[in-house]
Structure 1
Amino acid sequence: MEHCDQSQTSDRETLNKTDVLRDFQVSFFAMSRLVSFPWTFLEKELESNKSSDLILDILKQTCLHSLCRKFPPSVRFRRLFLSELIRREAAGCDPLDELYDALAEVVGAEDTTECYKSYILPGGDAVSLLENVALISEGTTGLVTWEAALYLAEWALDHQQVFTGRTVLELGSGVGLTGVTICRSCSPNRFVFSDCHSSVLHKLRSNVQLNGLTEPTVSVEEMDWTAATEERIKRIGPDVVIAADVVYDPDVVGSLVKLLSKILSCSSAEVFICSTIRNQETYGGFKQQLETAGISHHVMTGAVSHVFPYNRASSIELIQLYT
């Protein structure tokens, strides 16, 4: 019985370490806020065991991982992350050469306005995107990944049958997180990314190519919501239309609702809109305009699998539209 108890304890410790290493990896490549990392587990482990093995394992899953060589997070982020590791190591165990070698690589390196973020999928593959460091740049918010896009991607992973074998049109694709995740995991027959800002489209095309997605299965199109015609929508022939974080500016809500009305009137597409509700007045105005246009909506309830790291305290709502 004693041997059995020891074995179960060992299994729990192994599971915990595996989970913690994955948490470090997922958070590191998505450039999550450093306070969200599982530092407490590391500190407790170093208190009970003065070995630097766990720190080396963390390094192997982050800065020394092949994904970091290919698609590195920002220099500043890596520098701060390594400094946090060194602070814990200095208090708990012998110096680790690999840790200081990794820091030496980034200490003199120059920061850039762009960096890679990688979002680890459940199977272990990663969606890697080139994003801007600043939240707003070149007059647009479309050069970074926002929370509603992450939520919608998680919902898609839980509801792959909605997209499998179908033609999907995404409005306001941004840097491409949701669409690339769907293309990589849900086997759509065709996927059309769209946006209207030239800088966003340039980065979107790069990210689509970066993730190995090619025409004719996948395409990136410029789409001005005020100019999109029913003929163009029919030519695309969407079975599913999705959009994430497109309801944030009252000035564009009217053109979005008009486009959604055209889509619903000239196709039989299922339409899903995912929004982070930052301003209740703006979001309420969007729903009011939908109602005025004769468009009803249904709030999609139920939890989604936690795949990507982001602030889950945010108010995010996914709705399906219909007439």
Structure 2
Amino acid sequence: MAPEDHEGATSLLQSFERRFLAARALPSFPWQSLEEKLREPSGSALLLAILQKTVKHPVCVQHGPSVKYARCFLSKLIQKHEAVPTEPLDALYEALAEVLMAKESTQCHRSYLLPSGDSVTLSESTAIVSHGTTGLVTWDAALYLAEWAIENPAAFTDRTVLELGSGAGLTGLAICKACYPRAYIFSDCHAQVLEQLRGNVLLNGFSLEPHTPIDTGSTKVTVAQLDWDEVTASQLSDFQADVVIAADVLYYWEVTLSLLRVLKMLADCQRKSAPDVYVAYTVRSQDTDRAGIYWEEMPPHTGKLFAYEEHSAIVILKLMLTGRHGV
């Protein structure tokens, strides 16, 4: 195999691996590129490699996506294989038979590979909106913020980080595993989100016992219930956060106002300087322009680690808090 062909196959394999583990929509997979590769003599070997990097991946075997998703993926893979005149691959059909016999669950898993070779695995609801909240799934802005943090670890290393609206926990878990903060506080307000968030923290090998360091590094991890409309200055003061982050929380005006209230309280109650605030924002409208927020847009990161929609217009805003003088 020529070097350029090998590089192309490796890139294709990595794309399938990352998209499958993250359970991305099947139309987003590079199927056309796969079709071209399958016409080459090494096509069957590539299919077997894809099988090992997806359905048979060690992470997937332990914590896989939904049964329906795996079934649809294998059916599509077999369809592409059968379109090429070649010997049938028993391994593909055997894998599909195993999936067909598996029992579906209301929970599924998505996994995201980190540069270190470690991964973040999340248990998520199979419904997009469940129990009256969207916090049970991971949104693209959370992935974008996690990528940016991994490229900018100095913003978090040996610092206390408070995340507002942690949702399923992807961003915080990636920061804890790759950026080594001194302490990390996940927060959300919905009971079902908090229950699943605690489960995801434990699933990734972290401890939630008070005053006990987690197994990975020395970061102290906590999960806090935080209702932006009811939280008090006293509660926020206990955190004494050096950094505050949030992903995709500026989706309508009322939420923006609640966020501003919390940020002002955080700045006013600090015993030290106001925290750095980073918000990953999926651009939907210009509604936040009238919020009177002082901010600067951070330079985009250069590497793309996770599979998410390319067309999403996501930026990271650094908000300027002045402490006892508002935002």
Specify if TM > 0.5.
Answer: yes
- The residue number in structure 1 matching 2:279 is 273
* Residue 293 (structure 2) pairs with residue 288 (structure 1): no
In structure 2, what residue type is equivalent to 1:118?
A: S
Where in structure 2 are there 5+ consecutive unaligned residues? 212-219, 323-327
The Cα of 1:213 is off from its aligned counterpart by 1.6
SS in structure 2 at match of 1:164: coil
* Residue 201 (structure 2) pairs with residue 208 (structure 1): yes
* Residue 295 (structure 2) pairs with residue 297 (structure 1): yes
- The residue number in structure 2 matching 1:251 is 254
- The residue number in structure 1 matching 2:215 is none
- The residue number in structure 2 matching 1:242 is 245
Distance of 1:254 and 1:88 partners within structure 2: 50
Distance 1:51 1:298, change over 3 A: closer
SS in structure 2 at match of 1:48: coil
SS in structure 2 at match of 1:52: helix
Distance of 1:133 and 1:235 partners within structure 2: 35
Distance 1:50 1:306, change over 3 A: closer
- The residue number in structure 1 matching 2:230 is 227
In structure 1, what residue type is equivalent to 2:59?
A: L
- The residue number in structure 2 matching 1:161 is 154
* Residue 2 (structure 2) pairs with residue 10 (structure 1): yes
For 1:287-306, what per-residue CA distance to the aligned partner results, in whole angstroms no more than 9, with x for missing partners? 423x2xxx511121334421
Distance of 2:235 and 2:308 partners within structure 1: 35
Distance of 1:91 and 1:25 partners within structure 2: 22
* Residue 121 (structure 2) pairs with residue 128 (structure 1): yes
Distance 1:50 1:168, change over 3 A: closer
The Cα of 1:11 is off from its aligned counterpart by 2.2
For 1:15-58, what per-residue CA distance to the aligned partner results, in whole angstroms no more than 9, with x for missing partners? 22222111110010011121221222321222122752111111
Report which of the two has the higher share of helix. 1
SS in structure 1 at match of 2:251: coil
8 Å Cα contact 1:240/1:270 also seen in 2: yes
When the two chains are superposed, the root-mean-square deviation of aligned CA atoms in Å is 1.6
Q: TM-score, normalised by structure 2?
A: 0.90
Equivalent of residue 42 in structure 1, options 27, 31, 34: 34
Distance 1:50 1:188, change over 3 A: closer
Distance of 2:78 and 2:99 partners within structure 1: 14
* Residue 44 (structure 2) pairs with residue 52 (structure 1): yes
Distance of 2:43 and 2:194 partners within structure 1: 48
8 Å Cα contact 1:170/1:192 also seen in 2: yes
For 1:87-142, what per-residue CA distance to the aligned partner results, in whole angstroms no more than 9, with x for missing partners? 11112221111111110012233332220000111222211000112211110000
For 1:176-200, what per-residue CA distance to the aligned partner results, in whole angstroms no more than 9, with x for missing partners? 0000000010000000000000000
* Residue 98 (structure 2) pairs with residue 102 (structure 1): no
Where in structure 1 are there 5+ consecutive unaligned residues? 1-8
Distance of 1:255 and 1:212 partners within structure 2: 33
Equivalent of residue 117 in structure 1, options 88, 97, 110: 110
Distance of 1:77 and 1:168 partners within structure 2: 35
Equivalent of residue 310 in structure 1, options 308, 313, 316: 308
Structure 1 consecutive aligned stretches of length 4 or more whose deviation exceeds 6 Å:
none
Distance of 2:159 and 2:109 partners within structure 1: 30
Distance of 2:52 and 2:42 partners within structure 1: 19
The residue correspondences of 1:66-81 to structure 2 (distance < 5 A) are: 66-81=58-73
The number of equivalent residue pairs is 307
For 1:247-292, what per-residue CA distance to the aligned partner results, in whole angstroms no more than 9, with x for missing partners? 11333322221111111223321011111122x15xx2x3423x2x
In structure 2, what residue type is equivalent to 1:276?
A: T
Equivalent of residue 144 in structure 2, options 134, 147, 151: 151
SS in structure 1 at match of 2:83: helix
8 Å Cα contact 2:300/2:315 also seen in 1: no
- The residue number in structure 1 matching 2:130 is 137
